[in-house]
Amino acid sequence: MKRLSILGSTGSIGRNTLEVVAEHPDSFRVVTLAVKENIDLLERQIEAFHPEVVAVHDEASAERLRRRRPPVEVLSGDEGLVAVATMDGVDTVVSAIVGSAGLIPTISAVRAGKDVALANKEALVMAGHLIMSEARENRVNIIPVDSEHSSLFQCLEKRERAEVRRVILTASGGPFLRRSKDELERVTPEEALRHPNWQMGRKITIDSATLMNKGLEVIEAHWLFDIPPERIDVLLHPQSIVHSLVEFIDGSMLAHMSIPDMKGPICYALSYPDRYEGVMPTLDLSEIHELVFERPDPEKYPSLSLSYEALRCGGTMPCVMNSANEVAVESFLNGDIPFTSIFHVVSGVMRAHDVGKGESIEEIMDASRWAEEEARRLISSQERWRIKKGGVS
């Protein structure tokens, strides 16, 4: 019986994780749940899974939940998240908080010696060097939940790195695969949120449309598997059936395939090294007919080259890129900037950054706050990046 702490239980990954738990009641037990603010759904999860402790990040929401007298202790704030991430008696922490807010709870779990099922790629993007060295020191397993990385993890199992020529991450291309670069200027948040293959949260859905998600995943793959950037490739693959490929030095390739269903990677991260029966429906390739692969157009998707640049630059740069992107995505979703200005904001913040070594979490968090402020400053100072009410300026 694995005892789990699920950080981000009301998000897309969190809800899927609880479905996996409900389907395997003899294998997993929920010890703690943590959420940002969705206490209505959290209440229903408490009823269904009987955790020992819960944490609500937003203080006011935590207080509202306490007043409803739930049959469980309610922690709150940053300390609450860290407390449930490090709790005695928890074996595995499912890190599924969205964005940079997941960094401190994730590294705290690693320092407390917990295995981590990692969905929060931003933590590795911001501080991959620190997290992986802490993981080695504390002998904890970091098992990817991200579908591409779960599939690389499975293809690379028991393989020497010297045998690997390169790895290839696939990207669906999101909803705008067939739109031209110019057309992207005018797409709306509603269109961008309509992902063709995957049901996901808002932030990652926009990141999929900009391909920033794939850029973040290149950095994530670098840290998880210790593969240099020049040996990590990205291909567009609109069917989302092949999640990644490994090319070995002899020229042979392993591809990992399944229907696009996050339950597969989630369950494998929790059951590893075992496999469970019937987690996903069978993939019928005769119904798919064709698997297409294309090179992404770097002009249309500048986020890919920005990500490689951030990874090569190292130190605080990947963190700064990530935090600038979070602000830019939020501004796009609020209707404040056009879609393509996400790229301008991110590259503008990176250009202005005086890169540091990023040797401590404090330095990383400082760089993250600087990047958020700089992104907001750029957005409000650049008239051409703002949307005038009633149309794109």
Which parts of this chain interact with Mg ion (CB under 5 A)? 146-148
Residue 255 vs 313, nearer CB to Mg ion: 255
Q: How far is the CB of 148 from Mg ion (least distance, A)?
A: 5
Which element (helix H / strand E) includes 298? none
Buried b (16+ CB within 10 A) or exposed e, 224-245: bbebeeebbebbbbbbbbbbbb
Least distance (Å) from Mg ion to the CB of residue 323? 20
Cβ at position 367, least distance to Mg ion in Å: 24
Whole-number minimum distance, CB 272 to Mg ion, in Å? 18
The answer to whether 321 and 329 have CB atoms below 8 angstroms apart is no
What Å distances lie between residue 24 and 18, 29, 96, 266, 324, CA to CA? 10, 9, 20, 12, 39
Cβ distance to Mg ion smaller for residue 4 or 118: 118
- Measured CA to CA, the distance from residue 349 to residue 327 in angstroms comes to 11
- Closer CB to Mg ion, 147 or 331, in the complex: 147
Residue environment code for 249-276, b if the CB has 16+ CB neighbours within 10 A, otherwise e: eeeeebbbebbbbbbbbbbbbbbbeeee
Shorter beta-carbon distance to Mg ion: residue 223 or 385: 223
Query: Which C-beta is closer to Mg ion: that of 147 or that of 341?
Result: 147
Min dist. Cβ of residue 117 to Mg ion (A): 14
Minimum distance of Mg ion from residue 217's CB (angstroms)? 6
* Min separation Cβ 34 and Mg ion, Å: 22
> How far apart are CB 393 and Mg ion at their closest, in Å?
33
Q: Which residues of 51-71 are buried (b: 16+ CB within 10 A; e: fewer)?
A: bbbbbbbbeebbeebeeeebe
Long-range contacts of 264-267 (CB under 8 A, 24+ apart): 264/147, 264/150, 265/144, 265/145, 265/146, 265/147, 265/150, 265/151, 266/13, 266/16, 266/17, 266/20, 266/94, 266/117, 266/119, 266/145, 267/20, 267/24
In the bound state with Mg ion, the residue whose beta carbon lies nearer, of 244 and 368, is: 244
The residues facing 232 across adjacent strands are 167
Residue 119 C-alpha from the chain's centroid = 5
Residue 31 or residue 145: which is nearer to Mg ion going by CB? 145
Q: For Mg ion, give the closer residue by CB, 122 or 148.
A: 148
In the bound state, the residue with its beta carbon closest to Mg ion is 146
